[in-house]
């Protein structure tokens, strides 16, 4: 199975790669359109801001390619947000393969932004990506922007209200948390993605 990590400048690429190695998968880091198009699975990792993330994809000439992929695609953290239509972060037009907005968390008493640390997951729609995930299992988050709950939401988490923790539309999937830092839960969900 050929798995590629899209080299979009995310700082979590090494840890995602290591998490895949623990599952027995060697994922190539690439910005080569032919390698991405020919892969069995494509992962778009990302840590940082939406504007620079999209600028990097544009510089590499990968925007239309990413939109046209038909194999399973997984966006992780910022990568998930880049799959959406638009981010409030820098008023950024994103890939638009999942018709969802990305909005900044509102700070409130007891709610410090960024949302950082372990938080419970709540599955809302059955999907092979969530196989074996029980309500209340924890994943590790670091983010200031989130996707509201919609018909694309597979699982939610809560930070001053529910937000999308896992999303999907067709062959495109996203995890707002870091599966590579989420111990057994993250490993199981990555394995589920590799099995799609």
The C-alpha atoms of residue 20 and residue 89 are separated, in whole angstroms, by 29
User: pTM of the full predicted structure?
Assistant: 0.96
**Would you state the pLDDT for residue 68?**
98
**Would you state the pLDDT for residue 196?**
97
DSSP string, 102-171: EEEPPPBTTBPSSEEEEEE-EE-S--GGGTTPPTT-EEEEEESEEPPP-TTEEEEEESSSEEEEEEEETT
Total residues belonging to the chain: 196
Among residues 115, 143, 173, 178, the one annotated as catalytic is 178
Find the distance separating the first CA and the last CA of the chain, reported in whole Å.
12
Residue listed under structure tokens 């840590």: 47
For 137-147, what is each residue's pLDDT tens digit?
Answer: 999 999 999 99
Question: Per-residue pLDDT for the chain (196 aa), expressed as one digit of tens each?
Answer: 999 999 987 667 888 999 999 999 999 999 999 999 999 999 999 878 999 999 999 999 999 999 999 999 999 999 999 999 999 999 999 999 999 999 999 988 989 999 999 999 999 999 999 999 999 999 999 999 999 999 999 999 999 999 999 999 999 999 999 999 999 999 999 999 999 9
The range of the structural domain enclosing residue 66 comes to: 3-195
Domains in the chain: how many in total?
1
The C-alpha atoms of residue 128 and residue 102 are separated, in whole angstroms, by 24
- The token pair at 78 is 């910022």
**Would you state the pLDDT for residue 49?**
92
Among residues 26, 59, 77, 93, the one annotated as catalytic is 77
Residue listed under structure tokens 């409130």: 108
**Would you state the pLDDT for residue 10?**
66
Residues 49 and 90: beta-carbon distance below 8 Å? yes
**Would you state the pLDDT for residue 100?**
98
CATH number at residue 104: 3.40.50.880
DSSP string, 154-192: EEEEESSSEEEEEEEETTEEEESS-GGGSHHHHHHHHHH
What DSSP character marks residue 31?
-
The C-alpha atoms of residue 13 and residue 45 are separated, in whole angstroms, by 6
**Would you state the pLDDT for residue 8?**
81
The C-alpha atoms of residue 26 and residue 5 are separated, in whole angstroms, by 10
Residue 77 annotated to the active site? yes
């Amino acid at each position: 199975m050929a798995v590629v990590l899209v080299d979009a400048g995310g700082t979590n690429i090494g840890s995602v790669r290591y998490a895949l190695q623990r599952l027995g998968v060697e994922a190539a880091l690439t910005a080569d359109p032919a390698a991405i198009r020919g892969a069995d699975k494509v992962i778009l990792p990302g840590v940082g801001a939406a504007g620079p993330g999209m600028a990097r994809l544009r510089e590499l000439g990968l925007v239309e390619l990413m939109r046209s992929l038909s194999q399973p695609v997984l966006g992780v953290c910022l990568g998930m947000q880049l799959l959406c239509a638009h981010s409030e972060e820098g008023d950024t037009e994103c890939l638009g393969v999942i018709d969802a907005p990305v909005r900044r968390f509102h700070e409130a008493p007891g709610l410090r932004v960024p949302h950082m640390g372990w938080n419970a997951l709540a599955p809302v729609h059955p999907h092979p990506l969530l196989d074996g995930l029980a309500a209340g299992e924890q994943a590790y988050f670091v983010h200031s922007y989130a996707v509201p709950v919609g018909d694309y939401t597979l699982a939610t988490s809560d930070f001053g209200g529910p937000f999308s923790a896992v999303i999907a539309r067709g062959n495109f999937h996203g995890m707002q948390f870091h599966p590579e830092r989420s111990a057994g839960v993250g490993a199981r969900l990555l394995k589920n993605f590799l099995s799609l």
